Chain A
Amino acid sequence: NAGVTQTPKFRILKIGQSMTLQCAQDMNHNYMYWYRQDPGMGLKLIYYSVGAGITDKGEVPNGYNVSRSTTEDFPLRLELAAPSQTSVYFCASSSDRAIFSGNTIYFGEGSWLTVV
């Protein structure tokens, strides 16, 4: 198993450009998450999904969109990139059983995004 895979690892965007951060997991997990982490700060939840076709907003959803057409993939779309979106983005997944029984959440290695 590859676990949670994020691409790209690094990206520089110009203001106003759009891009998609890809996230895939091969563990058949229903729950998937996108977090952002600004320098020296904690993780903030952007969006999450409890299954294919179901998504919901987290703490900081503005400026982002997500979709969940399959169990495996949970892409994060940045529309009209702004300097405030310069951050490290982490994707994570967990099984629904794990959520209610307290097992672990699996994180990707992160995607470093700079908007200039």
Chain B
Amino acid sequence: DAKTTQPTSMDCAEGRAANLPCNHSTISGNEYVYWYRQIHSQGPQYIIHGLKNNETNEMASLIITEDRKSSTLILPHATLRDTAVYYCIVRVGSNTGKLIFGQGTTLQVKP
């Protein structure tokens, strides 16, 4: 089963880009990488997902390495409201739909 590894915590200055790494070295060829974040104790919020190509939406960009063993979530201009726990997850087990969250990275955006 694919498993993700993320740093426990990171700091970022307000207005700067936040780059959050994720390792998923055992990912299978048809497994997607999802990024979610959780602010305080709210339910996780979807950010972005990708398979092979880099992706960008209004919230963030996702860079996936060519071998797909790691990815980076980029928040281009971090604000104080981006302070949250960021989860990188991959779909676990073919055809089961089981979704396992890791510990995530606590991003602290500082003024």
Residues of A within 8 A of B (CB): 31, 33, 35, 37, 41-45, 48, 50, 56, 58-59, 88, 90, 92, 94, 96, 99-105, 107-110, 112
Q: Would you call the interface of chain B mostly helix, strand, loop, or mixed?
A: loop
**Most A CB atoms within 10 A — which of B30, B99, B103, B104?**
B99
The number of chain B residues touching the other chain, given as a range, is 20 to 34
Pick out which of these stretches binds chain A: B19-27, B42-50, B67-75.
Answer: B42-50
A42 engages B41 (CB within 8 Å):
no
In this assembly, does B97 line the interface, its C-beta being within 8 Å of a C-beta of chain A? yes
CB distance from B107 to the nearest CB of A (A): 14
What residues of A have a CB within 8 angstroms of the CB of B97 in the complex? Answer: 31, 48, 50, 94, 96, 99
Q: Contact mask B28-53 → A, CB, 8 Å, 1/0?
A: 00101010100001111110011100
A105 engages B46 (CB within 8 Å):
yes
A48 engages B32 (CB within 8 Å):
no
Chain B residue nearest to A30 in the complex (CB)? B97
Within 8 A of A (CB), among B79-111: 85, 87, 91, 96-104
CA A20 – CA B104 in complex, angstroms?
A: 29
CB distance from A110 to the nearest CB of B (A): 6
B103 engages A102 (CB within 8 Å):
no
Extra contacts, 9 of them, besides A92-B43, A105-B99 (Cβ < 8 A), are A42-B103, A45-B98, A48-B99, A56-B96, A102-B32, A105-B34, A107-B43, A107-B44, A110-B43
CA A100 – CA B98 in complex, angstroms?
A: 11
A90-B102 contact given A42-B87, A50-B96, A99-B97, CB 8 Å threshold? no
